Amino acid sequence: MQTSQSSTTLDTATSDSLAKEQSILDQNTPAIHTQPNPKAIQLIPDHFKLVEAGYLTVAVPSISAPPLLVLAADNKTYIGAEIDIARLIADSLGLQLKIVPTTWENWPLGLVSGKFDAVLSNIAVREERLQKYDLVSYRKDTLAFYVKQNSKIEAITGPDDISGLKIVVGSGTNQEKLLLAWIADNKKKGLVPAQPIYLEDSAAASLALQSGRVDALVIPNVAGRWQQLNGVKIKQVGRLNGIWTVAVALKKGTGFANAVQSSLNGVITSGEYKQVFSRWGLQDDALSTSSINPPVENQ
C-alpha cells in the first residue's frame, strides 16, 4: 500500500512539473530579436562564404535538452537558450537563422566539411577542440550536485562527501570526469567509493532520485535550475565552477570568429543577451564578455 501511495505521489508531482514546464515553454516561444550590428557585419571576411547566402546555418542538438533546446508546442519549432543565442548572432550579422538538428557525434565532421556555419551544442572549451576549431565563448560551464528537497544530504563540496552514494551522471561529460576523479580519491583513502549511475534521460534521472533509487545527481547547473523552475522538488548542495566555458564552434582559421564575437559582445551590452538568460533561468551562467579561443584554466 505504501508503494502504491508513493507511486501516485510521484505521478502527480511529475504531471504538475510537466504542466508547469509547458507553461514556461509557451511563454518563452516568441523569439527575442536584435538589430543588425554594423561593426560585426564589417568583421565578416570578404573571402568567407556562408553555407547558404543570406542565412546563418547553425547545427544544434537533435535531442530535447531544455532549457538549452526543446521543441515548442507545435512540435516543429525549436526554442531554447541555444536557439535564442544563435538567433541573436544571426540578427546581429544581418542574416536569417537556419537551424540544422544534428547528433553530438556528427557535428565535428559537419562543421569541417561545410554543412553548417556554426555549432551551438553546449560545447565546452577544451585543449583538443581549440586545436581543431575556433571557439567563441557565450556561457559559463557550471556543474552542480542536486538531491531531493527532503534529503539529509546538506553539502557536497569534496570527494569525502560522496562516499557510498549512488550518483547519476552522463557518460562522456565534464561531470563524469569530475565524479570519477572523486571516486578514485575515495578508493585511495580507503572510503566506500561512490557509485556512478549512468542515465542519459533527464526524466528517468529525476524519477530515480525522487524514488530513492539514487542519492544525487551531478549535472550542468542549467539543467538543475530548469527543474527547480518547473517545480521539481530538488535542492542544490554543491556548485562547482566548471573547468571550461561553453562556446560557439566555428571552422578554424576563417576569420569568422571575430564577427561572431562582436555580435555576442554587442547583445551583451544592449541587453538582449540578459533577456535570454533571464527567461531560461541561466543568470548564474552568464558571461560579462565573449572571448575567442579562451584559455583552458585549471585543467
Contacts of 196 (CB under 8 A, 6+ apart): 167, 169, 176, 179, 180, 183
What mean pLDDT value characterizes the chain?
A: 90
175 has a pLDDT exceeding 80: yes
| pLDDT confidence bin for 1, thresholds 50/70/90 | very low
Q: Is the pLDDT of residue 5 over 60?
A: no
In the chain, where the domains are located: 8-22+142-242, 29-140+244-285
Q: Residue 79 contacts by C-beta under 8 Å, 6 or more apart in sequence? A: 25, 28, 29, 69, 70, 71, 72
Contact 159, 97 (CB under 8 A): no
Does pLDDT of 31 surpass 50? yes
Contact predicate 241/31, CB 8 Å: no
Average pLDDT value for residue range 136-145:
92
More confident residue, 100 or 70: 100
Give yes or no for a cis peptide into 30 (omega within 30° of 0). Answer: no
The larger pLDDT score, comparing residue 59 to residue 25, is at 59
pTM: 0.82
Do residues 257 and 93 make contact, with C-beta atoms less than 8 angstroms apart? no
Question: What is the CATH number that goes with domain 8-22+142-242?
Answer: 3.40.190.10
pLDDT above 80: residue 19 = no
| Per-residue pLDDT band at 184 (split at 50, 70, 90) | very high
267 pLDDT above the threshold of 90 = yes
| Contact of 259 with 93, CB cutoff 8 Å | yes
pLDDT, tens digit, 9 for 90 and up, residues 95-128:
999 999 999 899 999 999 999 999 999 998 989 9
| Confidence bin at 171 (pLDDT 50/70/90) | confident
Biggest distance spanned by C-alpha atoms of the chain: 71
Distances (CA, A) of 134 to 52, 92, 111, 137, 287: 20, 19, 11, 10, 18
How far is residue 17's CA from residue 262's CA, in Å, rounded to a whole number? 38
Q: How far apart are CA 159 and CA 185, in angstroms?
A: 6
Amino acid at 158: G
pLDDT > 50? residue 61: yes
Q: Which CATH class name applies to 29-140+244-285?
A: alpha beta
Order of strands, edge to edge, in the sheet holding 195-198?
A: 96-102, 55-61, 118-124, 234-251, 133-148, 216-220, 166-169, 195-198
Two domains, one topology: 8-22+142-242 and 29-140+244-285: yes
Cα–Cα distance, 11 to 2 (Å, whole number): 14
Cβ-based neighbour number of residue 229 at 10 Å? 16
Is the pLDDT assigned to residue 76 strictly greater than 60?
Answer: yes
Q: Given a cut of 60, is residue 2 above it in pLDDT? A: no
Q: Helices in the chain by DSSP H: which ranges?
A: 2-28, 38-42, 81-92, 107-112, 127-130, 174-189, 202-211, 221-229, 256-270, 272-279
By percentage, how much of the chain surpasses pLDDT 70? 92
| Residue 93 reports pLDDT greater than 80 | yes
Angle (nearest 5°) at CA 180 between 233 and 210:
20
Find the Cα–Cα–Cα–Cα dihedral 228, 231, 232, 234, rounded to 10°: 50
Chain-centre distance for alpha carbon 66? 8
CA separation for the pair 244, 140 (Å, rounded): 7
What mean pLDDT comes out for the span 135-140? 96
Predicted confidence at residue 16, as pLDDT, reads 60
Per-residue pLDDT band at 150 (split at 50, 70, 90): very high
Per-residue pLDDT band at 250 (split at 50, 70, 90): very high
Which pLDDT score, from 0 to 100, does residue 13 have? 52
